[in-house]
Structure 1
């Protein structure tokens, strides 16, 4: 009986070590989205001003596109912005969602950095961001022709992400009937 009591803590330690060891092999930057292969949540948001209409989930159909979540206070958004401009120049529709940001601040940021977006919607209360599962900015969703989320990029889009992941995925989605 004493022998088993001695072995119990060792067995518990080995089980915990195995669980934590497996957990350490996972990439912490990969956060799966519950929206993959599901329609975008329904939303209809205003633009950044009265003369700049926003958009809703129903507007994000017909052609594969990117839905980029950004904010004027985002430290990584200036790093990503030139790539978004390049992507938009290549003819890819890029929609902007100003998340947890005042419309005037977002508009000022875009006037300083340039506006690569087809349309920009304002989500200052973050309700749509919550529905999308946004954890921070920037985040970008690949949306197919039917308005279904096909991929979620957490963090800035750079040349490597664009050429190895997003561009091929958009080309494949464009080719689908």
Structure 2
């Protein structure tokens, strides 16, 4: 009987796959032991200029433009949607940051205008300006992968922090404020 490699090929490929997976798992565990955050997705935007905006207005709100991202001190740019439960959860924190004097701009992402307006009617509008990104063209340019995502941009239009997930009090205190401080920036915080 002649040896047929095609019969062994599935076994070799399966063993190879599990070998690569085991190696990745061990490397991931080594990174965790050394304090490397293996759960977060790195941002290609941090340290780089903010991409240009190509947005339409959201209903009657004043349109957001590239000029808004420069010369206003440290600004907060928040991608949000009415269909996003974490966006609802972070809304009170963003409102408090805006009320404390931080410039806050919003990009409504892949949303129906009527739904977005209902969201703002229910929860209030903390945004200085809002743009609409119904087809996610801007989201792709900015590297947005899930809602909500927030970018902190300095006077020169450089992204100093890209935060994925809802900014609630805990993440603000434990992640956002320390990361901004490490980059040499601080937010105006609401009085407690």
Provide TM-score, normalisation by structure 2: 0.76
* Contact persistence 1:66–1:140 (CA under 8 A): yes
Match of 2:167 in 1: 157
Match of 1:98 in 2: 108
Q: Is 1:17 the counterpart of 2:22 in the alignment?
A: yes
Q: Is 1:134 the counterpart of 2:147 in the alignment?
A: no
1:67-99 Cα deviation digits (max 9, x unpaired): 111000001111111111111111111111100
In 2, Cα distance between equivalents of 1:15 and 1:60: 43
| Stretch moving more, 24-33 or 166-175 | 166-175
Residues 73, 167 of structure 1: alpha-carbon distance in 2 compared, 3 angstrom cutoff: same
Match of 2:190 in 1: none
Match of 1:3 in 2: none
Question: How far off its partner does 1:17 sit?
Answer: 3.2
In 2, Cα distance between equivalents of 1:133 and 1:75: 20
* Contact persistence 2:46–2:159 (CA under 8 A): yes
- Paired residue secondary structure (2:108): strand
- Paired residue secondary structure (1:35): coil
Residues 77, 20 of structure 1: alpha-carbon distance in 2 compared, 3 angstrom cutoff: same
Q: Which runs of 5+ in 1 are unaligned?
A: 1-8
Size of the alignment, in residue pairs?
Answer: 165
Question: How far off its partner does 1:32 sit?
Answer: 0.7
Q: Which runs of 5+ in 2 are unaligned?
A: 1-11, 188-192
* Contact persistence 1:58–1:147 (CA under 8 A): no
Residues 28, 112 of structure 1: alpha-carbon distance in 2 compared, 3 angstrom cutoff: farther
- What are the within-5 Å matches in structure 2 for residues 39-78 of structure 1? 39-49=49-59, 51-62=60-71, 63-78=73-88
In 2, Cα distance between equivalents of 1:20 and 1:99: 34
CA RMSD across the alignment: 2.6
Residues 126, 15 of structure 1: alpha-carbon distance in 2 compared, 3 angstrom cutoff: closer
In 2, Cα distance between equivalents of 1:59 and 1:38: 17
Residues 101, 38 of structure 1: alpha-carbon distance in 2 compared, 3 angstrom cutoff: same
- Paired residue secondary structure (2:62): coil
In 2, Cα distance between equivalents of 1:162 and 1:69: 16
